[in-house]
Structure 1
């Protein structure tokens, strides 16, 4: 080992501090094939350790979002954050009717093809303004203005993921 410089206990060199050399070893000892004299150097595996710690923390956060329940018979079940059982049935049915009306008026799943976001935003605003000025039911299509607004909010939420190419929001 007289031809190599050795670093101990996480004090591994970085390539910036020893240009042109490859380091090998474990978390405890690092070696350079060159006879370097750089002694006060940062660990090579700092990024890997930080990534591992972040993944562990993220896993703990995700797991903490599940609440385990035990029934009187001893049956165990995890309850996730996605609580569909908490969504009110009547407004959800109204929203489902809105999707059905759209399927009759245009074509089933037509909206999934995407279009300029401003079109849904404008329709959303029109329906909210009509509701806010006292008109509950949409006179043009069966259903409430709020279910129409909800449809456009859902469409925009989906477009963010599926159709960024139609994002025509004004940039500040």
Structure 2
């Protein structure tokens, strides 16, 4: 079970831009039908578009921008995002939410003696843990954090066991 995120941000942006253009066209058409002065003059738009050539810089820039937007939307639709539910090992189709997974690993790292704060970054094959300590000599702290996080990973039982990378940030030595 690997649930993927919804692509709501690209869809929302596309919908808002298209809605804005549709509203603009509809308001201009209604104003033209009612005989009022339109926000956007149809005659001006038609004359400007008629005067454009395929070799003009404005046409090339507009085409490039639209092509880039299309490629970005296509890639957002095709490429998989980070899984929102990570699969667990076992017979049953079970999983753990990405946020809960990160929180429990951060709690395991922060529970090690000498750790003041911990941050966890989940990758596809690796878990990166960055811990802050007040110790001026953090010897062995990285190994203790790695062991605590590895133990927590063993208890969770993910389908793919990630490697654990630990970075310790300590204050500068005064000696």
TM-score (norm 1): 0.30
Q: If each structure's strand is expressed as a fraction of its own residues, which one has the higher value?
A: 2
- Rg larger in structure: 1
Report 1 or 2 for greater relative contact order, CA contacts < 8 Å, sequence distance ≥ 6. Answer: 2
